Protein backbone atom coordinates (compact mmCIF):
# COMPACT_ATOMS: atom_id res chain seq x y z
CA UNK A 1 0.00 0.00 0.00
CA UNK A 2 1.25 3.46 -0.88
CA UNK A 3 2.05 5.68 2.08
CA UNK A 4 -0.08 8.38 0.47
CA UNK A 5 -3.20 6.29 0.90
CA UNK A 6 -3.08 7.77 4.38
CA UNK A 7 -4.03 11.36 5.18
CA UNK A 8 -2.09 11.32 8.43
CA UNK A 9 0.90 9.50 9.87
CA UNK A 10 1.23 9.55 13.65
CA UNK A 11 4.35 8.30 15.39
CA UNK A 12 3.55 7.05 18.89
CA UNK A 13 0.49 5.25 20.26
CA UNK A 14 0.35 6.87 23.70
CA UNK A 15 -2.33 9.32 24.81
CA UNK A 16 -1.15 12.06 22.44
CA UNK A 17 -1.07 9.88 19.35
CA UNK A 18 -4.16 7.82 20.17
CA UNK A 19 -6.31 10.87 20.89
CA UNK A 20 -5.35 12.59 17.64
CA UNK A 21 -5.82 9.36 15.68
CA UNK A 22 -9.28 8.81 17.11
CA UNK A 23 -10.43 12.37 16.42
CA UNK A 24 -9.11 12.43 12.86
CA UNK A 25 -10.44 8.96 12.06
CA UNK A 26 -13.87 10.12 13.18
CA UNK A 27 -13.42 13.08 10.80
CA UNK A 28 -13.02 10.53 7.98
CA UNK A 29 -9.22 10.81 7.75
CA UNK A 30 -7.17 7.70 6.98
CA UNK A 31 -4.61 7.35 9.78
CA UNK A 32 -1.45 5.27 10.13
CA UNK A 33 0.02 4.92 13.62
CA UNK A 34 3.62 3.73 13.96
CA UNK A 35 5.11 2.70 17.31
CA UNK A 36 8.48 1.09 18.00
CA UNK A 37 7.16 -0.80 21.04
CA UNK A 38 5.22 -4.05 20.82
CA UNK A 39 2.10 -2.54 22.38
CA UNK A 40 -0.16 0.49 22.23
CA UNK A 41 -0.66 2.84 25.18
CA UNK A 42 2.78 4.39 25.54
CA UNK A 43 3.86 4.74 29.16
CA UNK A 44 0.24 4.33 30.30
CA UNK A 45 0.23 0.72 29.10
CA UNK A 46 -0.95 -1.78 31.70
CA UNK A 47 -1.78 -5.50 31.79
CA UNK A 48 -3.08 -8.19 34.13
CA UNK A 49 -0.59 -10.71 35.49
CA UNK A 50 -1.28 -14.41 36.10
CA UNK A 51 -2.90 -13.61 39.46
CA UNK A 52 -5.24 -11.08 37.84
CA UNK A 53 -3.41 -8.09 39.34
CA UNK A 54 -3.19 -4.97 37.18
CA UNK A 55 0.44 -4.00 36.42
CA UNK A 56 1.42 -0.54 35.18
CA UNK A 57 4.55 -1.47 33.24
CA UNK A 58 6.09 2.01 33.22
CA UNK A 59 5.10 3.10 36.72
CA UNK A 60 1.78 4.12 38.27
CA UNK A 61 -0.70 6.19 36.28
CA UNK A 62 -3.62 7.83 38.08
CA UNK A 63 -6.26 9.80 36.22
CA UNK A 64 -7.30 13.15 37.67
CA UNK A 65 -8.40 16.37 36.01
CA UNK A 66 -10.43 19.54 36.42
CA UNK A 67 -10.84 19.78 32.63
CA UNK A 68 -14.44 18.79 31.86
CA UNK A 69 -13.78 18.52 28.11
CA UNK A 70 -11.07 15.91 28.72
CA UNK A 71 -13.21 14.03 31.23
CA UNK A 72 -16.22 13.96 28.88
CA UNK A 73 -14.05 12.80 26.00
CA UNK A 74 -12.36 9.98 27.90
CA UNK A 75 -15.63 8.52 29.18
CA UNK A 76 -16.48 7.47 25.61
CA UNK A 77 -13.89 4.72 25.80
CA UNK A 78 -14.18 3.12 29.23
CA UNK A 79 -16.17 2.73 32.36
CA UNK A 80 -14.67 4.57 35.36
CA UNK A 81 -15.04 4.40 39.12
CA UNK A 82 -14.22 7.08 41.70
CA UNK A 83 -10.70 6.78 43.05
CA UNK A 84 -9.04 9.15 45.50
CA UNK A 85 -5.30 8.66 45.58
CA UNK A 86 -3.63 8.68 48.98
CA UNK A 87 0.10 8.87 49.64
CA UNK A 88 2.05 8.32 52.83
CA UNK A 89 5.62 9.38 53.48
CA UNK A 90 8.07 7.39 55.56
CA UNK A 91 9.37 10.12 57.87
CA UNK A 92 11.90 8.76 60.35
CA UNK A 93 10.12 5.40 60.29
CA UNK A 94 6.62 6.85 60.77
CA UNK A 95 4.09 6.81 57.91
CA UNK A 96 2.46 10.24 57.60
CA UNK A 97 0.02 11.68 55.02
CA UNK A 98 1.54 13.48 52.02
CA UNK A 99 0.94 16.36 51.32
CA UNK A 100 1.63 17.29 54.92
CA UNK A 101 -1.58 17.92 56.86
CA UNK A 102 -2.67 18.23 60.49
CA UNK A 103 -2.47 14.44 60.96
CA UNK A 104 1.12 14.50 59.63
CA UNK A 105 1.88 17.30 62.09
CA UNK A 106 0.45 15.31 65.01
CA UNK A 107 2.45 12.21 64.06
CA UNK A 108 5.79 14.03 63.86
CA UNK A 109 5.57 16.50 66.76
CA UNK A 110 4.85 16.35 70.47
CA UNK A 111 1.17 16.90 71.29
CA UNK A 112 1.50 20.40 72.79
CA UNK A 113 3.83 21.60 70.03
CA UNK A 114 1.50 20.24 67.35
CA UNK A 115 -1.48 22.04 68.89
CA UNK A 116 0.47 25.31 69.02
CA UNK A 117 1.43 25.03 65.35
CA UNK A 118 -2.13 24.18 64.32
CA UNK A 119 -3.50 27.25 66.11
CA UNK A 120 -0.84 29.48 64.55
CA UNK A 121 -1.66 28.13 61.10
CA UNK A 122 -5.38 28.82 61.59
CA UNK A 123 -4.71 32.33 62.90
CA UNK A 124 -2.22 33.33 60.21
CA UNK A 125 -3.96 31.70 57.23
CA UNK A 126 -7.71 32.05 57.90
CA UNK A 127 -10.13 30.64 55.33
CA UNK A 128 -7.35 28.82 53.48
CA UNK A 129 -7.39 25.08 52.82
CA UNK A 130 -3.79 24.82 51.61
CA UNK A 131 -0.70 26.99 51.52
CA UNK A 132 2.72 26.82 49.92
CA UNK A 133 5.67 25.62 51.94
CA UNK A 134 7.34 28.94 51.08
CA UNK A 135 4.55 30.75 52.94
CA UNK A 136 5.94 29.04 56.04
CA UNK A 137 9.66 29.22 55.31
CA UNK A 138 9.40 32.98 54.69
CA UNK A 139 7.06 33.67 57.61
CA UNK A 140 8.05 36.12 60.35
CA UNK A 141 6.77 33.84 63.11
CA UNK A 142 9.73 31.67 64.22
CA UNK A 143 7.52 28.68 65.09
CA UNK A 144 5.89 28.63 61.65
CA UNK A 145 9.25 29.21 59.98
CA UNK A 146 10.72 26.24 61.88
CA UNK A 147 7.74 24.09 60.92
CA UNK A 148 8.15 25.08 57.26
CA UNK A 149 11.82 24.13 57.34
CA UNK A 150 10.93 20.80 58.98
CA UNK A 151 8.50 19.93 56.17
CA UNK A 152 11.00 21.14 53.58
CA UNK A 153 13.77 18.91 54.94
CA UNK A 154 11.76 15.82 55.79
CA UNK A 155 9.28 15.72 52.91
CA UNK A 156 10.70 17.59 49.96
CA UNK A 157 14.38 18.32 49.70
CA UNK A 158 15.95 14.85 49.82
CA UNK A 159 13.13 13.24 47.84
CA UNK A 160 13.58 15.83 45.10
CA UNK A 161 17.35 15.43 45.26
CA UNK A 162 16.98 11.66 44.71
CA UNK A 163 14.40 12.15 41.99
CA UNK A 164 16.46 14.60 39.95
CA UNK A 165 19.98 13.53 40.90
CA UNK A 166 21.00 17.00 42.09
CA UNK A 167 22.29 18.57 45.29
CA UNK A 168 19.52 20.09 47.43
CA UNK A 169 21.05 23.55 47.01
CA UNK A 170 20.34 23.37 43.25
CA UNK A 171 16.58 22.95 43.66
CA UNK A 172 14.71 25.82 42.03
CA UNK A 173 12.59 28.02 44.31
CA UNK A 174 9.67 27.88 41.88
CA UNK A 175 9.54 24.10 42.38
CA UNK A 176 9.58 24.49 46.17
CA UNK A 177 6.66 26.92 45.90
CA UNK A 178 4.44 24.19 44.47
CA UNK A 179 4.81 22.01 47.59
CA UNK A 180 1.55 22.38 49.57
CA UNK A 181 0.73 22.09 53.25
CA UNK A 182 -2.92 21.19 53.93
CA UNK A 183 -4.60 23.20 56.69
CA UNK A 184 -6.83 20.44 57.96
CA UNK A 185 -7.18 16.66 57.82
CA UNK A 186 -7.86 16.28 54.08
CA UNK A 187 -5.59 13.42 53.01
CA UNK A 188 -6.21 12.98 49.28
CA UNK A 189 -3.18 13.61 47.09
CA UNK A 190 -4.94 15.46 44.28
CA UNK A 191 -7.41 18.34 44.46
CA UNK A 192 -8.95 17.94 40.99
CA UNK A 193 -12.68 17.90 40.27
CA UNK A 194 -12.64 14.51 38.54
CA UNK A 195 -10.66 11.70 40.15
CA UNK A 196 -11.43 8.33 38.58
CA UNK A 197 -9.72 5.18 37.36
CA UNK A 198 -10.68 3.15 34.27
CA UNK A 199 -12.54 0.07 35.44
CA UNK A 200 -10.58 -2.32 33.17
CA UNK A 201 -7.25 -0.48 33.11
CA UNK A 202 -5.73 2.06 30.74
CA UNK A 203 -4.92 -0.34 27.90
CA UNK A 204 -8.64 -0.96 27.43
CA UNK A 205 -9.06 2.78 26.78
CA UNK A 206 -6.48 2.64 24.00
CA UNK A 207 -8.08 -0.46 22.49
CA UNK A 208 -11.38 1.42 22.30
CA UNK A 209 -9.84 4.64 20.98
CA UNK A 210 -7.96 2.92 18.17
CA UNK A 211 -10.62 0.40 17.13
CA UNK A 212 -11.69 2.25 14.01
CA UNK A 213 -11.74 1.22 10.33
CA UNK A 214 -9.83 4.39 9.40
CA UNK A 215 -6.91 3.56 11.74
CA UNK A 216 -4.10 1.18 10.85
CA UNK A 217 -1.42 0.40 13.46
CA UNK A 218 2.12 -0.84 12.89
CA UNK A 219 3.91 -1.92 16.07
CA UNK A 220 7.55 -3.00 16.47
CA UNK A 221 8.35 -0.37 13.86
CA UNK A 222 10.96 2.34 14.38
CA UNK A 223 10.23 5.35 12.20
CA UNK A 224 13.98 6.03 12.01
CA UNK A 225 14.37 2.92 9.83
CA UNK A 226 11.86 4.25 7.29
CA UNK A 227 12.09 8.05 7.23
CA UNK A 228 14.35 10.39 5.26
CA UNK A 229 14.46 14.18 5.30
CA UNK A 230 15.16 15.73 1.91
CA UNK A 231 13.12 18.48 0.30
CA UNK A 232 10.23 16.95 2.27
CA UNK A 233 9.49 13.85 4.37
CA UNK A 234 10.02 10.52 2.62
CA UNK A 235 8.76 7.24 4.05
CA UNK A 236 10.31 4.13 2.47
CA UNK A 237 11.61 6.31 -0.38
CA UNK A 238 8.16 7.74 -1.11
CA UNK A 239 7.41 11.43 -0.58
CA UNK A 240 4.61 11.81 1.98
CA UNK A 241 2.06 14.51 1.22
CA UNK A 242 -0.17 14.29 4.28
CA UNK A 243 0.07 15.48 7.88
CA UNK A 244 2.95 14.04 9.91
CA UNK A 245 2.50 14.06 13.70
CA UNK A 246 5.31 13.06 16.01
CA UNK A 247 4.92 12.26 19.72
CA UNK A 248 8.26 10.57 20.46
CA UNK A 249 11.65 11.91 21.53
CA UNK A 250 12.40 14.69 19.07
CA UNK A 251 16.19 14.36 19.24
CA UNK A 252 15.87 10.68 18.30
CA UNK A 253 13.82 11.54 15.21
CA UNK A 254 16.65 13.71 13.91
CA UNK A 255 19.36 11.23 14.91
CA UNK A 256 20.65 13.42 17.78
CA UNK A 257 22.36 15.73 15.30
CA UNK A 258 22.45 18.66 17.75
CA UNK A 259 23.12 16.49 20.80
CA UNK A 260 21.11 14.35 23.23
CA UNK A 261 18.36 16.04 25.25
CA UNK A 262 18.79 15.18 28.96
CA UNK A 263 16.06 13.39 30.90
CA UNK A 264 15.64 11.57 34.17
CA UNK A 265 14.69 7.94 33.84
CA UNK A 266 13.42 5.21 36.15
CA UNK A 267 14.22 1.65 37.06
CA UNK A 268 10.96 0.04 38.11
CA UNK A 269 11.52 -3.14 40.09
CA UNK A 270 8.47 -5.37 40.58
CA UNK A 271 8.15 -7.64 43.60
CA UNK A 272 5.50 -10.28 44.26
CA UNK A 273 4.43 -10.90 47.85
CA UNK A 274 2.17 -13.52 49.34
CA UNK A 275 0.22 -10.89 51.23
CA UNK A 276 -3.22 -9.41 50.79
CA UNK A 277 -1.63 -5.97 51.14
CA UNK A 278 2.00 -4.90 51.46
CA UNK A 279 1.28 -1.33 52.64
CA UNK A 280 -1.77 0.64 53.87
CA UNK A 281 -2.20 2.88 50.79
CA UNK A 282 -1.39 2.80 47.07
CA UNK A 283 1.85 4.79 47.33
CA UNK A 284 4.41 5.29 50.08
CA UNK A 285 7.19 7.83 49.50
CA UNK A 286 10.66 7.42 51.01
CA UNK A 287 12.07 10.96 51.19
CA UNK A 288 15.06 10.34 53.45
CA UNK A 289 15.58 6.57 53.68
CA UNK A 290 16.18 3.91 51.01
CA UNK A 291 17.66 4.31 47.54
CA UNK A 292 14.26 4.11 45.85
CA UNK A 293 11.91 7.10 45.88
CA UNK A 294 8.59 5.32 46.42
CA UNK A 295 6.70 2.04 46.49
CA UNK A 296 3.38 1.65 44.71
CA UNK A 297 1.06 -1.29 45.33
CA UNK A 298 -0.92 -1.84 42.16
CA UNK A 299 -4.00 -3.63 43.55
CA UNK A 300 -5.21 -0.36 45.08
CA UNK A 301 -5.67 1.30 41.69
CA UNK A 302 -8.57 -0.97 40.67
CA UNK A 303 -9.67 -1.78 44.24
CA UNK A 304 -8.84 -5.43 43.50
CA UNK A 305 -9.95 -7.91 46.12
CA UNK A 306 -7.34 -10.64 45.67
CA UNK A 307 -6.31 -12.56 48.78
CA UNK A 308 -2.72 -13.36 49.72
CA UNK A 309 -1.23 -12.05 46.46
CA UNK A 310 0.06 -8.59 45.69
CA UNK A 311 2.62 -6.80 43.50
CA UNK A 312 4.61 -3.73 44.43
CA UNK A 313 6.78 -1.49 42.29
CA UNK A 314 9.90 0.19 43.66
CA UNK A 315 11.05 3.23 41.69
CA UNK A 316 14.72 4.08 41.40
CA UNK A 317 15.45 7.40 39.74
CA UNK A 318 18.48 7.55 37.46
CA UNK A 319 20.02 9.48 34.59
CA UNK A 320 18.81 8.76 31.08
CA UNK A 321 21.44 7.65 28.59
CA UNK A 322 21.46 6.14 25.11
CA UNK A 323 24.17 3.65 26.09
CA UNK A 324 22.11 2.04 28.83
CA UNK A 325 18.98 2.05 26.64
CA UNK A 326 16.89 3.59 29.40
CA UNK A 327 13.53 5.19 28.66
CA UNK A 328 13.28 8.99 28.88
CA UNK A 329 10.69 9.97 31.51
CA UNK A 330 11.12 13.52 32.83
CA UNK A 331 12.52 16.42 30.75
CA UNK A 332 15.11 18.47 32.62
CA UNK A 333 13.96 22.01 31.92
CA UNK A 334 16.83 24.44 32.22
CA UNK A 335 18.03 27.21 29.94
CA UNK A 336 20.67 25.15 28.11
CA UNK A 337 18.37 22.18 27.52
CA UNK A 338 15.52 24.35 26.26
CA UNK A 339 17.91 26.10 23.86
CA UNK A 340 18.93 22.67 22.53
CA UNK A 341 15.29 21.67 22.18
CA UNK A 342 14.58 24.84 20.18
CA UNK A 343 17.03 23.69 17.50
CA UNK A 344 15.12 20.46 17.06
CA UNK A 345 11.78 22.28 17.15
CA UNK A 346 12.89 24.59 14.34
CA UNK A 347 14.00 21.60 12.29
CA UNK A 348 10.59 19.99 12.82
CA UNK A 349 8.91 23.20 11.67
CA UNK A 350 11.03 23.19 8.52
CA UNK A 351 9.47 19.85 7.56
CA UNK A 352 5.97 20.86 8.75
CA UNK A 353 5.98 18.23 11.49
CA UNK A 354 3.36 18.62 14.20
CA UNK A 355 4.79 17.92 17.67
CA UNK A 356 2.60 16.71 20.52
CA UNK A 357 3.41 15.22 23.91
CA UNK A 358 6.02 15.16 26.62
CA UNK A 359 8.92 13.82 24.56
CA UNK A 360 8.13 15.67 21.34
CA UNK A 361 7.67 19.03 23.09
CA UNK A 362 10.24 18.42 25.85
CA UNK A 363 7.66 19.46 28.40
CA UNK A 364 6.16 17.73 31.45
CA UNK A 365 2.51 16.83 30.85
CA UNK A 366 0.05 15.03 33.08
CA UNK A 367 -2.28 12.68 31.22
CA UNK A 368 -5.18 15.12 31.15
CA UNK A 369 -2.97 17.93 29.87
CA UNK A 370 -1.59 15.87 26.99
CA UNK A 371 -5.11 14.76 26.03
CA UNK A 372 -6.23 18.41 26.03
CA UNK A 373 -3.25 19.35 23.88
CA UNK A 374 -4.01 16.50 21.46
CA UNK A 375 -7.68 17.48 21.19
CA UNK A 376 -6.66 21.03 20.29
CA UNK A 377 -4.22 19.83 17.64
CA UNK A 378 -6.77 17.40 16.20
CA UNK A 379 -9.32 20.21 15.87
CA UNK A 380 -6.74 22.25 13.99
CA UNK A 381 -6.00 19.39 11.58
CA UNK A 382 -9.63 18.51 10.90
Q: How confident is the model at residue 178 (pLDDT cuts 50, 70, 90)?
A: confident
Top pLDDT among 245 and 164 is at: 245
22-38, pLDDT tens digit by residue? 999 999 999 999 999 99
Give backbone dihedrals phi and psi of 113, rounded to 5 degrees, phi first: -65, -40
Structural Rg of the chain based on CA atoms: 23
Q: Is the pLDDT of residue 172 over 70?
A: no
Q: 134 burial class (0-12, 13-18, 19+ CB within 10 angstroms)? A: middle
Average pLDDT of the chain is 95
Q: Is the pLDDT of residue 175 over 70?
A: no
Tell which residue, 2, 11, 51, 55, has the closest CA to residue 247. 11
Long-range contacts of residues 124-131, Cβ cutoff 8 Å, at least 24 apart: 125/183, 128/183, 129/182, 129/183, 129/184, 129/186, 130/99, 130/180, 130/181, 130/182, 130/183, 130/191, 131/180, 131/181, 131/183
What does the pLDDT read at residue 148?
Answer: 95
Give the chain's length. 382
243-299, pLDDT tens digit by residue? 999 999 999 999 999 999 999 999 999 999 999 999 999 999 999 889 999 999 999
Instruction: Please state, as a whole number, how many other Cβ atoms lie within 10 Å of the Cβ of residue 185.
Output: 11
What does the pLDDT read at residue 1?
Answer: 56
Q: Is the pLDDT of residue 7 over 90?
A: yes
What does the pLDDT read at residue 173?
Answer: 65
Residue 228 to residue 254: CA distance in whole angstroms: 10
Residue 9 to residue 240: CA distance in whole angstroms: 9
Q: Is the pLDDT of residue 163 over 70?
A: yes
What does the pLDDT read at residue 166?
Answer: 81
Q: How confident is the model at residue 323 (pLDDT cuts 50, 70, 90)?
A: confident
What does the pLDDT read at residue 105?
Answer: 97
110-161, pLDDT tens digit by residue? 999 999 999 999 999 999 999 999 999 999 999 999 999 999 989 988 888 8
What does the pLDDT read at residue 170?
Answer: 74
Tell which residue, 381, 380, 382, 327, has the closest CA to residue 358. 327
Amino acid sequence: MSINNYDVIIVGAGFAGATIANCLANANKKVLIIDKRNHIGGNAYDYFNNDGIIIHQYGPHIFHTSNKEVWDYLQKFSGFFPYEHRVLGNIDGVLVPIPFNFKSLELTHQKEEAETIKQLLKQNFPNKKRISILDLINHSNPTLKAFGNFVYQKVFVYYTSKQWGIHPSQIDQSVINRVPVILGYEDTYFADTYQFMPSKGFTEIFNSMLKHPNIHIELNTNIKDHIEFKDAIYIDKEKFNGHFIYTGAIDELFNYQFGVLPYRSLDIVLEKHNLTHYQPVATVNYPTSEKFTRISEYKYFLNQDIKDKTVIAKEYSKAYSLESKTDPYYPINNEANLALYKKYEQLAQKYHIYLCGRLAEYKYYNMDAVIARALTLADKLK
